[in-house]
Amino acid sequence: MSPTFDVVTVGESLGLLTAPRSGRLHHNPTLRLGFGGAESNVAIGVARLGGAAAWIGRLGADSLGELILRELRAEGVHPYPVLDHDAATALMVKERPHPGSARVSYYRRGQAGSRLRPSDVPAAVVADTRILHVTGISAGLGESARTAAHAAVDAATSAGVTVSFDVNHRSALWSDRQAAAAEYLELARRAHIVFAGEDEAELLTGADSPQWQLDALLNLGIDCAVVKRGADGAMAATAEGRYSAPAVAVPVIDTVGAGDAFVAGWLADLARGATLRECLDTALACGAFACTGEGDWESAPSRDDLRWLRRGPVDPVSR
């Protein structure tokens, strides 16, 4: 029998307050309320592309937690939350202090997402998917969330489920870069697919060339390594070969969430049985489209959006 889900993600979701215009936070009289989080972003991205996605995490038993669950369900994601009555849902605040720049402040330590426990992860849900996706953010949130991520990987490994790991380094969560690298490597060695930006791949491998980074990542014993290069596109490698592709040129509004959209595109296609080349091409298109609007996940594309992106020269006005 086929699995219920294409992708199950495990990790933290946070409330999000966004300043609607450039300038210091204290000069913005109003803030826009939403939510974000790498793992839930990926789940939404997969669902937008027609995949069956689920999210596992811990939320406060509060209004922010209710907002996150309502939005996940509205986006077609199946949430498996634990509601924490002793800690609030974490929060992040995004401001644009200067034109073209953004700064995010986090209020997450000791909050519900960082208190995710191994017992919060339903092994039956993890076993009922094609792909499990985790990130290095869980490792940075503390021992509880880190062991929960490993428990999810344990369940996936026992069930023969493909494990995807995105480094997603957050320097604010670590006082020691080498400690971060060690934790990331532990998760990477247990994964089948590893996604990393160039700087993250260098942190893991010590190599400063994408080609060498791919070689070093494959030497960890993983099946597929992907290095995201921003405006320079991306490269991917398996034991059978490697493929690189340029970025898709788009007018950039906001790059936040582009990396998660990239991963969602890759995993959604992988769940469909796509080739390495097809996965990378879709991932790049998804990452590019996400840059054309604001929000952590709001600009993640649908399949129709990707067809629009690839349409070529046309009249910009639909009549």
Question: What pLDDT does residue 317 have?
Answer: 54
Beta carbons within 8 Å of 180's beta carbon, 6+ residues apart: 136, 139, 140, 169, 173, 174, 203
Question: What pLDDT does residue 271 have?
Answer: 98
Instruction: Report pLDDT digits (tens) over 202-225.
Output: 999 999 999 999 999 999 999 999
Q: Give the 3-state secondary structure of residue 202.
A: helix
Instruction: Report pLDDT digits (tens) over 154-174.
Output: 999 999 999 999 999 999 999
Question: What pLDDT does residue 20 have?
Answer: 81
Higher pLDDT, 81 or 316: 81
The values of phi and psi at residue 318, to 5°, are -85, 130
The values of phi and psi at residue 49, to 5°, are -90, 10
Instruction: Report pLDDT digits (tens) over 36-65.
Output: 999 999 999 999 999 999 999 999 999 999
Residues catalogued as catalytic: 260
Angle at 137 between CA 305 and CA 238, to 5 degrees: 65
**What letter does residue 23 receive in the DSSP assignment?**
B
- Say how many residues make up the chain: 319
Read off the tokens for 117. Answer: 């426990």
The CATH number for 5-12+38-88+117-308, chosen from 3.40.1190.20, 3.40.47.10, 3.40.190.80, 3.30.70.20, is 3.40.1190.20
- pLDDT level of residue 119 (50, 70, 90 thresholds): very high
Q: Residue 166's beta-bridge partner residues?
A: 135, 195
Query: Structural domain boundaries of the chain?
Result: 5-12+38-88+117-308
